[in-house]
Amino acid sequence: MLVSAKEMLDKAKAGHYAVGQFNINNLEWTKAILLTAQECNSPVILGVSEGAGKYMTGYKTVVGMVNGMIEELGITVPVALHLDHGSFDHCVKCIEAGFSSVMFDGSHDPIDVNVEKTKEIVALAHSKGVSVEAEVGSIGGEEDGVVGMGECADPKECKAIADLGIDFLAAGIGNIHGKYPENWAGLSFETLDAIQQLTGDMPLVLHGGTGIPVDMIKKAISLGVAKINVNTECQLSFAAATREYIEAGKDQQGKGFDPRKLLAPGTEAIKATVKEKMEIFGSIGKA
Ligand code: 13P
* pLDDT tens per residue across span 119-163: 999 999 999 999 999 999 877 766 566 555 567 899 999 999 999
254's CB contacts (< 8 A; 6+ apart) are none
CA of 209 to the centre of ligand 1 (A): 6
pLDDT at 29 over 90: yes
| In-domain check, residue 79 | yes
User: In the structure, what pLDDT confidence band is assigned to residue 107 with cuts at 50, 70 and 90?
Assistant: confident
CA 240 from chain centre, in angstroms, equals 22
DSSP 159-213: HHHHTTT-SEEEE-SS-BSSSPPTT-----HHHHHHHHHHHTTPPEEE---TT--
Q: Which domain holds residue 204?
A: 6-281
| pLDDT for res 144 | 62
| In-domain check, residue 236 | yes
pLDDT at 40 over 70: yes
The radius of gyration of the chain from alpha carbons, rounded to an integer in Å, stands at 18
CA of 34 to the centre of ligand 1 (A): 18
| pLDDT for res 145 | 61
User: In the structure, what pLDDT confidence band is assigned to residue 211 with cuts at 50, 70 and 90?
Assistant: very high
Predicted structure pTM score: 0.96
| pLDDT for res 182 | 84
**Mean pLDDT on 24-30:** 98
Phi and psi for 57 in degrees, rounded to 5? 80, 0
| pLDDT for res 181 | 85
| In-domain check, residue 170 | yes
**Mean pLDDT on 65-86:** 98
CA of 210 to the centre of ligand 1 (A): 6
In short, whether 277's Cβ falls inside 6 Å of ligand 1 is no
CA distance 193 to 234: 29
- Look up 167 and say whether it is catalytic: no
In short, whether 146's Cβ falls inside 6 Å of ligand 1 is no
CA distance 280 to 287: 16
Packing angle, helices 88-97 and 59-72, rounded to 10:
40
| pLDDT for res 151 | 77
- Asked whether the beta carbons of 90 and 110 are under 8 A apart, the reply is no
Which protein residue has the closest C-alpha to ligand 1 atom 1? 208
In short, whether 153's Cβ falls inside 6 Å of ligand 1 is no
CA of 153 to the centre of ligand 1 (A): 17
Which protein residue has the closest C-alpha to ligand 1 atom 9? 229
In short, whether 256's Cβ falls inside 6 Å of ligand 1 is no
pLDDT in tens, 156-192: 999 999 999 999 999 999 998 888 888 888 999 999 9
| In-domain check, residue 235 | yes
Cβ atoms within 10 Å, residue 190: 12
User: In the structure, what pLDDT confidence band is assigned to residue 90 with cuts at 50, 70 and 90?
Assistant: very high
| In-domain check, residue 232 | yes
Mean pLDDT computed over every residue of the chain:
95
Q: What CATH number is given to the structural domain containing 132?
A: 3.20.20.70
| In-domain check, residue 286 | no
Q: Number of structural domains, the chain?
A: 1
Percentage of the residues of the chain whose pLDDT score is greater than 70: 96
| pLDDT for res 139 | 74
**Mean pLDDT on 206-232:** 97
User: In the structure, what pLDDT confidence band is assigned to residue 216 with cuts at 50, 70 and 90?
Assistant: very high
**Mean pLDDT on 39-58:** 98
In short, whether 137's Cβ falls inside 6 Å of ligand 1 is no
